[in-house]
């Protein structure tokens, strides 16, 4: 693992022309409700509507022309998929995206909008990996894994780096955990750019493999019983060691708690965030005493929502 | 009418400590869709979630201590209601708010949150005015009308003034019209701060009194057959002359067009806006040829949405 303070800074410069420096929002009423000072890093306003643009762009730009000539390939539930399709379009090469058939339509439309070719599969990690292997064998495309890739992690680290620049002196930063790309990047950014900041993860209780992995000290398999569709994946062998060493704890939250937190964000901040995106704020609201009086950064990861589903959540 | 370039600048300074300088958002994909360059002025991020904080705060601050000692009073479908309740709290006086019983719950909760006392009435202008007259007779509170008040208009004008500062050189600015407070303020701001900018209004076809008033040259009565709950009111004798003289035209849009425009704003900009708020963008999408290739400012007026209703809109 060669991710350093310098390499994250270089990644940030590398991707800067292609990504947004997203705003940090605050809300007096949410601060009062949570009992701490909250700084929401709005990656829902990022290109492709999610932080995934950072890691995918960094990884794609670090490949040589020879490596990418036959295109880019990945598997993803949606936001990384769009980010890779966008990177392919930027670089003038094809992109081949394996997506679970249950992925939100808005994310599939996004992939197609960037000219990506979609291969649907069953919504399991095994099906995703097997389908991707076949696609790569056929096309010769370069794989950019959604999280278990150091260049992707390095790119995701630029999000917390920006947050530290925008809202200095954070006591805690909270990120969600699925495969651990964002969380490990956030942990490294804190280590190198804000070493007094504690990193905590939020995770859906219905897919609590990171929580269990932190207890057992090895990668535990994921279930997938949660509405947080972006957090169904299991930690990878590259992300887990970084998380195990640098993340203080994982707080798990139920789907009801996720929806309640998402509703507060929609109503008070007036912004659209995904279910997965509401998980860290749900964790803060669940264990308020851990955050009491602190300056707390929350990474809002994405805003790609199928609006048809909204009626069900807020009925 | 004593609203001048100087008085609008003074109003802006007067209210600055109490309001947000809201951001202006752009979207490459929406520009492509609309065929013009769009600058969205995000008053959904304003205090109380709507531009109404500007006019209400300006009007309240211009009253003397003697005038407000018995409190503030108004009638409003919701956003001006919250703005007056907030102004009352800021100034340490009571607020009495007449609201139609059909007003969104989120807006009623907002009023109560600022300590305002609500008097419900039938959703007609007549019922609102009669109920307010009784409340004022009983309490002696000072009325701040939601739109037919020059100090309110002067405050609303600060919104377009800011937009011109943030996105200079606009060819057109589009605002919605209900009672005409925002539209007349926008027209005056353009006249004084950006005289080459043309002002156009968007209006729901189901409540097209402003459209008809512009044709006939006199104030026509409103119907109220639209989901745009913030735009049901009729122009006032103070707002109509300003609009008649300074607004180029009113474009009317159906509820279907409003919902389609609102959906695009939610999905592409990742922000929550009200039905009423989507009317100007719906007008641009409806008559694209009028805006083709232009730099177009759109005032997004508010973001107070009852999320329970969302399922119905986006089914």
**C-alpha angle B132/B138/B139, rounded to 5°?**
90
Assess whether B162 and B279 both reside in one domain: yes
Pull the structure tokens for residue A141: 């495309």
Look at residue A52 and tell me if it is in a domain: no
At which of B90, B120, B143 does a domain end? B143
Task: Determine the average pLDDT of the residues in A253-272.
Answer: 96
Pairwise CA distance, residues B19 & B13, whole Å: 10
Residue B74 falls inside a structural domain: yes
pLDDT tens for each residue of B233-273: 889 999 999 999 999 999 999 999 999 999 999 999 999 99
Both structure tokens of B202:
């968007």
| Residue A157 shares a structural domain with residue A271 | yes
CA dihedral of residues A163, A166, A169, A170 (deg, nearest 10) = -30
- Of B117, B72, B64, give the one whose Cα is nearest residue B93: B72
Nearest chain A residue to B305, by CA: A267
- Contact residues, chain B, for A49 at CB < 8 Å: 270
Asked if pLDDT for residue A145 goes beyond 90, the answer is: yes
Q: Which CATH number characterizes residue B163's domain?
A: 3.40.50.1100
**Same-domain pairing of B179 and B204:** yes
Tokens at A61, concatenated: 């730009």
In the predicted model, is pLDDT for residue A293 greater than 90? Answer: yes
Is the residue at B148 inside a domain?
no
A254 shares a domain with A164: yes
pLDDT value at residue A1: 72
Reported as a pLDDT band with limits 50, 70 and 90, residue A43 is very high
Give me chain B's average pLDDT, please: 95
Specify which residues A298 forms β-bridges with: A40, A174
Distance in angstroms (rounded) separating the CA atoms of residues A265 and A46: 17
pLDDT tens figures, A176-214: 999 999 999 999 999 999 999 999 999 999 999 999 999
What is the three-class DSSP state of B202? strand
B55 belongs to a structural domain? no
**pLDDT tens string B54-108:** 999 999 999 999 999 999 999 998 899 999 999 999 999 999 999 999 888 888 9
Residue A308 is predicted with a pLDDT of 87
Integer Cα distance of A97 and A252 in angstroms: 30
pLDDT in tens, B199-228: 999 999 999 999 999 999 999 998 878 988
What is the mean predicted confidence (pLDDT) over A10-35?
A: 96
Same domain, B169 and B133: no
Assess whether B122 and B257 both reside in one domain. Answer: no
Compute and round to an integer the Cα radius of gyration of chain A.
Answer: 18
A53 found inside a domain? no
The answer to the question of residue B239 being in a domain is yes
> Which of A76, A109, A143 is a domain's end point?
A143
Give the number of domains in chain A. Answer: 2
| A315 contacts on B by Cβ (under 8 Å) | 308, 311
- Cα nearest neighbour of A260 on chain B: B307
Q: Does the pLDDT value for residue A315 go beyond 80?
A: no
Same domain, B107 and B203: no
- B84 in the same domain as B23: no
Residue span of the structural domain in which B132 resides: 64-143
Bin B48: left if φ > 0, else alpha if -120 < ψ < 50, else beta. left
Q: Do A154 and A27 reside in the same domain of the chain? A: yes
Q: Do A39 and A75 share a domain, yes or no?
A: no
Q: Is residue A56 part of a domain?
A: no
* CA distances in angstroms from A98 to A106, A124, B266, listed in the order given: 15, 11, 27
Structure tokens at B224: 């109220």
- Write out the residues of chain B at the interface with chain A, using a CB-CB cutoff of 8 A: 23, 44-45, 49, 106, 263, 266-267, 270-273, 303, 305, 307-308, 310-312, 314-315
Neighbour-count burial of A24, counting CB atoms closer than 10 A to its CB (0-12 exposed, 13-18 middle, 19+ buried):
middle
> In B, which residues are within 8 Å of A308 by CB distance?
314-315
Is residue A158 located within the same domain as residue A138?
Answer: no
* Contact between B121 and B127 (Cβ < 8 Å): yes
In a domain, B59, yes or no: no
Cα separation values, A129 from A13, A134, A253, Å: 32, 9, 28
Same domain, A136 and A206: no
Q: Across chain A, where does the E strand assignment appear? A: 24-25, 37-42, 72-75, 95-100, 117-121, 142-143, 172-176, 198-204, 249-253, 295-300
Higher pLDDT, A105 or A42: A42
Contacts of B308 in chain A (CB under 8 A): 314-315
Answer with the one of A120, A143, A166 that is the final residue of a domain: A143
Q: Which of B271, B303, B314 sits opposite A311 (nearest CB)?
A: B314
């Amino acid at each position: 693992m060669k991710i350093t303070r310098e390499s994250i800074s270089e990644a940030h410069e590398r991707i800067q022309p292609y990504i947004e420096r997203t705003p940090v929002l605050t809300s007096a009423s949410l601060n009062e409700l949570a009992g701490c000072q909250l700084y929401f890093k709005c990656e829902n306003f990022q290109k492709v509507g999610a932080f995934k643009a950072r890691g995918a762009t960094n990884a794609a730009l670090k490949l040589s022309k020879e490596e990418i000539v036959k295109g880019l390939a990945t598997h993803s539930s949606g936001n990384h998929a769009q980010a890779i399709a966008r990177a392919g379009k930027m670089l003038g090469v094809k992109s081949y995206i394996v997506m679970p058939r249950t992925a939100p339509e808005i994310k599939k439309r996004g992939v197609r909008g960037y000219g990506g070719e979609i291969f649907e599969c069953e919504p399991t990690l095994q099906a995703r990996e097997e389908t991707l292997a076949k696609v790569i064998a056929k096309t010769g495309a370069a794989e950019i894994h959604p999280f278990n890739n150091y260049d992707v992690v390095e790119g995701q680290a630029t999000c917390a780096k920006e947050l530290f620049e925008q809202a200095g002196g954070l006591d805690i930063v909270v990120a969600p955990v699925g495969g651990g790309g964002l969380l490990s990047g956030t942990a490294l950014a804190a280590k190198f750019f804000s070493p007094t900041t504690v990193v905590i993860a939020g995770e859906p209780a219905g897919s609590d493999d990171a929580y269990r992995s932190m207890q057992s000290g090895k990668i535990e398999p994921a279930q997938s019983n949660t509405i947080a569709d972006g957090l169904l994946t299991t930690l990878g062998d590259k992300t887990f060691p970084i998380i195990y060493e640098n993340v203080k704890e994982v707080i798990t939250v139920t789907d009801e708690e996720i929806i309640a937190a998402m509703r507060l964000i929609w109503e008070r901040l007036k912004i659209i965030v995904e279910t997965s995106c509401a998980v860290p704020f749900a964790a803060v609201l669940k264990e308020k005493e851990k955050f009491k009086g602190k300056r707390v950064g929350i990474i809002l990861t994405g805003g790609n929502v199928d609006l048809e589903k909204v009626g069900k959540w807020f009925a």
